[in-house]
Structure 1
Amino acid sequence: MDRNAVGGAPVAETAPPVHPAIAPLSFLLGKWKGEGEGGFPTINSFKYGEELNFSHSGKPVIAYTQRTWKLASGEPMHAESGYWRLKPDGSIEVVIAQSTGIVEVQKGTFHTANKTVKLQSELVGNASKVKEITRVFEVADSNLSYVVQMATYLNNLQPHLKALLKKI
């Protein structure tokens, strides 16, 4: 919030209009919060709290941030951020930088009527073990759910994370 010049009272910032290029994904825009669970053959199963934020500045790109924490203690676990861009051919490109140092370049598809996005990694950079990541997002009944699958050099593609979030 900005403070106006008269009296210093808070003034709510208004979001710019959604750029027409990202309008098909406007169902994602906003803050989402909830819980998820994860696992993989090489790690113990775990549960976490999460907040996702899909925002825009009026330009033809969606900014994405994510953070997770341990449910019991609130201790931070993971964070990532990136950008989502729709292509003229109807596909989507996503770049994500993770707090672990891994960088993902993903391409995929979206379906506005079904409110779904499916992403497949084209590149997983700076990862000594991870070779592939897929992400599927879906908005239904005012909830955002997702499933992340991962493959390593020792394990084929399989479920890693899933969460259910509500818009806040």
Structure 2
Amino acid sequence: MFDLTPEHQLPYPDSHHPHAAPAPHALLSPVLGLLGTWHGRGQGEYPTLPADFTYAQEVTFSHDGRPFLRYEARAWLLDADGAPLRPAARESGWWRLQPEGRVEALVTQPTGIAEISVGHAADGTVDLSTHEVALTPTAKEVTATRRRYTLTDDGTLTFTHDLAAVGRPLQHHLSARLRREDRAAPDA
């Protein structure tokens, strides 16, 4: 039996930093700048919603030494004063890195939506577009998405999300500016 008491750590932990063990797989090089947990705020809109909204977001990227990133994101709607109103979006998945910066992403949401996206990572930007969407019988119709993550020179991660849903064409839905959680880098 495997013992997970405090003195027995998991044998293959996830890393949130490019210089921490385990060492990142070489194919992760175009996305190493994303590792860690990011927090920030954004704006959202969609023609089927009664009003535009402001939200807070947390996004985490980690790896276990293999050529993929673990991805988790969650968001909260904010009131006019910036206080959290309620949970909003939540999703998790995997980004599979391929040669020459190609990316295959699998993202699932508790609302019954599973997306497979493909794209490219280079020069601090990841651009992913829908390859296929699967829906549970009661999920809202989503036919396409496009997600862009860009690392800026000032250390900000910008995120934009376009959406084609409930009979509407692909159009802007979300944008956010995120900052990496301030954790000291582990010793190499």
Give the TM bin, normalised by the shorter chain.
Answer: 0.7 to 0.9
1:148 to 155, 161, 182: 161
Structure 1 unaligned segments of length 5 or more: list them.
6-12
Give structure 1 regions of 4+ aligned residues with deviation exceeding 2 angstroms.
2-5, 70-75
Q: Alignment RMSD, CA only?
A: 1.9
**2:129 aligned with 1:120:** yes
Which residue in 2 is equivalent to 1:27?
A: 33
Instruction: Report the CA distance between 1:77 and its aligned residue.
Output: 1.3
Which residue in 2 is equivalent to 1:129?
A: 141
**Contact 2:30/2:101, CA 8 A, preserved across alignment:** no
Instruction: Report the CA distance between 1:78 and its aligned residue.
Output: 1.5
**2:82 aligned with 1:50:** no
Instruction: Report the CA distance between 1:4 and its aligned residue.
Output: 3.7
Q: Equivalent residue of 2:30, what SS?
A: helix
Superimposed CA distance per residue, residues 138-164 of structure 1 (whole angstroms, 9 cap, x where no aligned partner): 001110001100113522111000000
Q: Equivalent residue of 2:26, what SS?
A: coil
Between the aligned residues of both structures, percent identity stands at 37
CA distance in 2 between counterparts of 1:84 and 1:22 reads 10
CA distance in 2 between counterparts of 1:139 and 1:98 reads 24
CA distance in 2 between counterparts of 1:128 and 1:77 reads 15
- TM-score, with length taken from structure 1: 0.87
Question: How many residues end up aligned between the 2 structures?
Answer: 158
**2:120 aligned with 1:109:** yes
CA distance in 1 between counterparts of 2:40 and 2:27 reads 28
